[in-house]
Amino acid sequence: MKKTDNSANIKRFYRKRTELFRLIDKIRIWPSRKGVLHGIRSVDKRGDMAIITTHCNETFTIRNSRNSRAARWLRNKWFSSACSVCRVPDWKMEKYASTRFKRHYGSFLMNKSD
């Protein structure tokens, strides 16, 4: 009889543990170790690994992890600048900036009527 509670929990759990591959498929932005955001041109997935090619022709080999540096940086929006060669368009940066990674998505709905 606690079935509905459980499914709500699974939903929230899933949202905050988005896999890195799903994340980059969606936002098409890659944060380098220097904190520069690159635009992703292509993603070549090979099992648990993927080779990312950016618009400025850099390649990064990544692992599909929820806890990697890149996944954390993307979620927390830690970056110092956008790559001038990739020229990540403003609309994409805005879309990224407005993307929220809420832990408690449900509480957002509850506060709506205030």
* Contact flag: residue 93 with Zn ion (CB under 5 A): no
**Measured from the CB of residue 26, what is the shortest distance to Zn ion in angstroms?**
19
83 binds Zn ion (CB under 5 A): yes
Using CA of residue 97, residue 73, residue 39, residue 81, what is the dihedral sign?
positive
8-37 binders of Zn ion (CB under 5 A): none
CA atoms within 13 A on the CB side of 22: 9
**Phi and psi (nearest 5°) for 74?**
-65, -45
Q: Does 74 bind Zn ion (CB under 5 A)?
A: no
Could you say whether residue 88 binds Zn ion (CB under 5 A)? Answer: no
Q: Kindly tell me which of 67 and 84 has the beta carbon lying closer to Zn ion.
A: 84
DSSP category for residue 35: S
Residue 83: CB minimum distance to Zn ion, A: 3
Orientation angle between helical segments 20-27 and 69-76, nearest 10 degrees = 50
Q: Which residues bind Zn ion (CB under 5 A)?
A: 38, 54, 56, 83, 85-86
